[in-house]
Structures are given as C-alpha cells and as structure tokens.
Chain A
C-alpha cells in the first residue's frame, strides 16, 4: 500500500478533523500527543498527517507534495487553486457575509470594504455590479468600520457574537462555508485505490 499524505489545518479545524478520522476508524493517538511535531504517521492506513496553517493547505495539495487536504471552503474560495474538492465534511460551519453598522443598510454608490478575503469580496461585489475599494486586513476586521477605515467588512461569521459585541450587523449573506476534503488531481489518479478507500471511510463517517 502506498503512503497517503494528508495536510490538515491547524487550530480550530484540527479537533474536528481528529474526531472525524476517529469516527472513520483511523487511530489518531499520535496526533493527540502534546508536542511540537508537524508531521505524524498513522500506521493503520499508512497515512502521514502534516499540520499547516489554513492558507497553506491548498498550496501543498495543488503542488502535489501532499495527496489530500482538509481545508475550509473560505480558504478555497479565496485562493481558487486547481484541485479537486470531493467531500463536504460538514464541520467548521459558518458563512461569508457583508457586515457593517446598521445604518449602512441603505446602500452607497461606492463602498470601502475591509476584509481578510480580498478575492471573495472583489468577486461578490463585481457580480452585484457594486463599485468598491478593497482594503486588505490581517485580523480584527470588525475594527475597520468602527474606526472609519471602511464602510463595511466581508468576513466569515459563525455565531455573529463578535459582530454584535462591536455593534455590527450582517447586511448581506455571501456563501455558506464548511470544511472540505480536497485532492491533488494527479494523486487521485495514481493512488486511486488508497485514496478511494480513505474517501469512502470519511464519507461514511460524515454521514453517521
């Protein structure tokens, strides 16, 4: 059996990923050990797990240095990499939304948008025919409208709690987000047996 390399997003998604893999019957004990390793071997199915920052997972998969990856749809929408998206893992659920102070609902001819997802924002407003200026942010996007840097923000919204605490409301919904299983286009062909087996296990676990 050929080794299958899977890139997994560190942080929030990791816990869910481990749960999912365990439900699929894959022993994940090495992953739970508290250490600073970034590469783990799960001998059960000859799987190698690599931990990466969210934005790097699609890059590793596209270049084929890993065969599969688990990444949020938010990252996939922002990067539009050439890879296969095969299973909706149904965790890490949230949505892309436009948010701002409630009075922004009335609309404006030209909007200044602060976001960590410039491509998603650009595409969304272009499709609406709304003229915008996009300001790329690295974090705490909620601050931008409060400080007068932007009119609105485009960000992922989970419960809306952060928005509310900062006096912002969701103005428009853009898209639903959840974690996805992604594949390298060549690996899917050249390691069909191994990869199909893992997909089947994961699909079953998602369904259960």
Chain B
C-alpha cells in the first residue's frame, strides 16, 4: 500500500525538463504546419459519455476505455480517440460552418492496454480532420500535411503507405460467401496472417481468379509504380478498377508536389475499424518498428451522426514521433546562454537588467542562495554560463572569481 503513494500506475509517465521541451517543440511544429495550411484548432474535454464510443464499429475501443461513473449513474470515459469527439462537435456546434472545414488538435487519449507490455495508456495525438470534400484531392491534402510536418521536424527515412479499403470491399462484394467468413478474411488480411488466410481461401468454393487475387493482395505493397503495375495485371471488377484509379490519381498529385519519394502503396493494408471508407494511410520510419501516424477517409462515421458530409484526416502519435527523432538523434534542446545575477543591496536596477537580458533571449535568474558553498555547487550543477553583478551606477560587471564576493 505504501508503494502506491509514490509509484505511478502502468502505462503513464512523468516528463522531466528536456522531455517537456521536446514535447512542446514537436507539438508547436505540428501545430504550425496545420495552421499554416488553414486548419483551426479545437479542443474536446477528456471526459465524454461512454455512449459516444459504444457504437459497434468502435467496440475495439469500447472495451479498453477507462470508465468512470457519474454522480447520476451515467457511464463516462476518458477520451479513447480524438476523431469521434470532433465529429460530435461538428454535429452539434459547427453544422452551419462553411465547408471545406479544416480542424486540428493536440490532445491526450487514454486506452487500457495490456499491462506490462511496454505500451502507453495515456498518449498524445496531434492530427487534422478535413470535412466536406469527397474528392481524392482532400486525401492528397492531408497526406501532404503529414509528410510536410515530419519533414519540418527533421525526421529522416520515413514513408507514408497508402491503402484503399474499397479494393478488398470490391472483391468481397462479388463473393457469395457468409458474412462471418468475409469478416475472417478481413481480420486475417489486417493481421497479415498469411498462413490462416491461405488456408481459409483454399477452403472456399469461389472462382480461382478471385482466390489468386485475394492471396496476392497482402503481398502488393511497395513502390507505387510497381504495385500499380501488378494490380492492373490482375482481373479486376469495375468497382475495383475505380478504387485503383483513385490511388493512381493520389500518387500522381503527390508527385506533383515533389514528394514522391515519401509515398508507397500497400494494397493489403486493411483496417477492421469499419468507419474507414476509402483511402487509408500509415506512416513509418525504418528506425522504429511502430506506426507514427495513421488516418484515412471516414465518411461512414459522419453518416452515423446523421450528417452527409465526407471526411478525411489523420493523427500522429506524438510519443512515437518523439521516440523516432530520439533514435535518429534529431532532437536538440536549443542551448540558451544562462546568466545568474547576484543582487547587490545598494542597486535598484535589477528588474531593468533582467528584462534587458531576457529580451535578448538569455535565461536570466536571480541568485537566492546566501551560502557561498551552496552557490558554487548550484552554479556547477546548473551549468551557469555567466555570473553578473550590478553596481550602484547600474553598470553590469561580470564576476569571474566567486572568492571575491
């Protein structure tokens, strides 16, 4: 019991000094990119009604939300996701806004993850949502923002993989098998459990053409040109062709922005999250085996809020991006000159001096220690760059030797 007074629960952490600087630096740069592209910040509360997230397609989150009971017995949750609350805001407070509506945020999300799996249960997300445009150009816009934001942070070796949920959906539509089997195919495709997937497909009584396309799909990822070439050589239905064309247009447009080197295609990228309804994407770097960002089109979610508004967006995992930058050693605390002012009983000019120094961008603090030994220790440990003193005539003198004080 005593330990609980000093230890932290699983999956949460304190950030000390440098880590706070990094976080602010990274989030500021994200926000700068979002806002420069016309996105407006919104913020939703950490507490929401459980019902908001209880829809079956969110069940994924529903079971691992932190729940609280309100005084009137209603169930509350700590926000497990940022997009759903923003859609709630849109449906209740911003319906009459002019579209396209561009919103952005940086917020904590809370999820119950397996304890001791080294996973965070409280983590930061920074993201954008673009409402009201159903053209692929909206998808391109958010993909470009993801790329530009990571470039702005100085992240190297990263790639955005783009997938298309309409493709698998197009294949499944034509198949006369039970819904349960289709779900199993989607699940195994998402997990890239090729062993189970191949076994499952072999047992189905469907055309050989479809079988081979289904088996090929998880392997169709990599350079856009190659992948598009391979998929176009497979027998495609008209709806699948349309889905592929959308990807082609997206790649072409990203190329026009001169960012081709950052994108890859992954036609086997699937998400069991049903609210995604078109192009989806994820970002990685080879230096960290974790997903840095994910997003896509989610028109279906808005339909559930009785809105016929197309939507696309993505979120960065700030913690993962920070980790990747640290691994690449691309994070630095800007070193400011640190000045310590020794106060003089006779001098009244202290505040002017401090203001002048701070305006120059230095860190200026006043000495509060009386004891010379403590002061010396403090100067050494805090790596003070310069010690100054102000005399009666408001002249600033550098103190070279502490012994003389």
Contacts and interface: CB of A to CB of B under 8 A. Distances in A.
A binds B: yes
A126 interface: no
B50 interface: no
Interface in B263-313: 264, 266, 284-286, 288-291
Interface in A80-134: 82, 84-88
Nearest to A181: B195
Contact of B191 (A62, A84, A192): A84
A86 B264 contact: no
28 contacts: A59-B117, A59-B118, A62-B117, A63-B118, A64-B288, A64-B289, A67-B289, A82-B191, A84-B192, A84-B193, A84-B194, A85-B192, A85-B193, A85-B195, A183-B192, A184-B289, A185-B289, A185-B291, A186-B285, A186-B286, A186-B289, A186-B291, A187-B286, A189-B159, A189-B266, A189-B284, A190-B285, A190-B286
Contact of A189 (B117, B194, B195, B221): B221
Interface of B: 117-118, 157, 159, 161, 191-196, 221-222, 264, 266, 284-286, 288-291
A59 B116 CA distance: 11
A175 B258 CA distance: 51
Given A186-B290, A187-B289, A85 B196 contact: yes
A84 B270 CA distance: 13
Given A85-B193, A180-B195, A183-B192, A192 B289 contact: no
Contact of B284 (A63, A84, A190): A190
A3 to B, nearest CB: 11
Interface residues of A, number: 24
Contacts of A186: 284-286, 288-291
B403 to A, nearest CB: 52
A188 B191 CA distance: 12
Contacts of A42: none
A164 interface: no
A85 B191 contact: yes
A39 interface: no
B201 to A, nearest CB: 14
B292 to A, nearest CB: 9
Interface in A173-208: 180, 183-192
Given A189-B159, A189-B161, A190-B285, 18 more contacts: A2-B286, A59-B118, A62-B117, A63-B289, A64-B289, A64-B290, A84-B192, A85-B191, A85-B192, A185-B289, A186-B290, A187-B289, A188-B192, A189-B264, A190-B157, A191-B286, A192-B221, A192-B222
Given A64-B289, A64-B290, A190 B195 contact: no
A149 interface: no
A190 B118 contact: no
A63 B288 CA distance: 8
A198 B285 CA distance: 21
A65 interface: yes
Contacts of A180: 195
A184 B288 CA distance: 10
Contacts of B291: 185-186
The 3 A-B pairs of least Cβ separation, nearest first, read A64-B289, A190-B286, A84-B192
Contacts of A63: 118, 289-290
A184 to B, nearest CB: 5
Contacts of A59: 117-118
B402 to A, nearest CB: 48
Contacts of B266: 189
Interface in A36-75: 59, 62-65, 67
A180 B191 CA distance: 14
Nearest to B161: A189
Contacts of A188: 192
A185 B192 contact: yes
B289 A86 contact: no
Given A189-B161, A190-B159, A192-B222, A87 B194 contact: yes
Contacts of B285: 186, 190
Contacts of A62: 117, 289
Nearest to B158: A190
A87 B286 contact: no
Nearest to A192: B222
Contacts of B118: 59, 63
B264 A65 contact: no
Contacts of B193: 84-85
Contacts of B264: 189
Interface in A1-60: 2, 59
B199 to A, nearest CB: 9
A189 B222 CA distance: 7
Contacts of B286: 2, 186-187, 190-191
Nearest to A193: B222
A198 to B, nearest CB: 14
A65 B191 contact: no
Contacts of B284: 186, 189-190
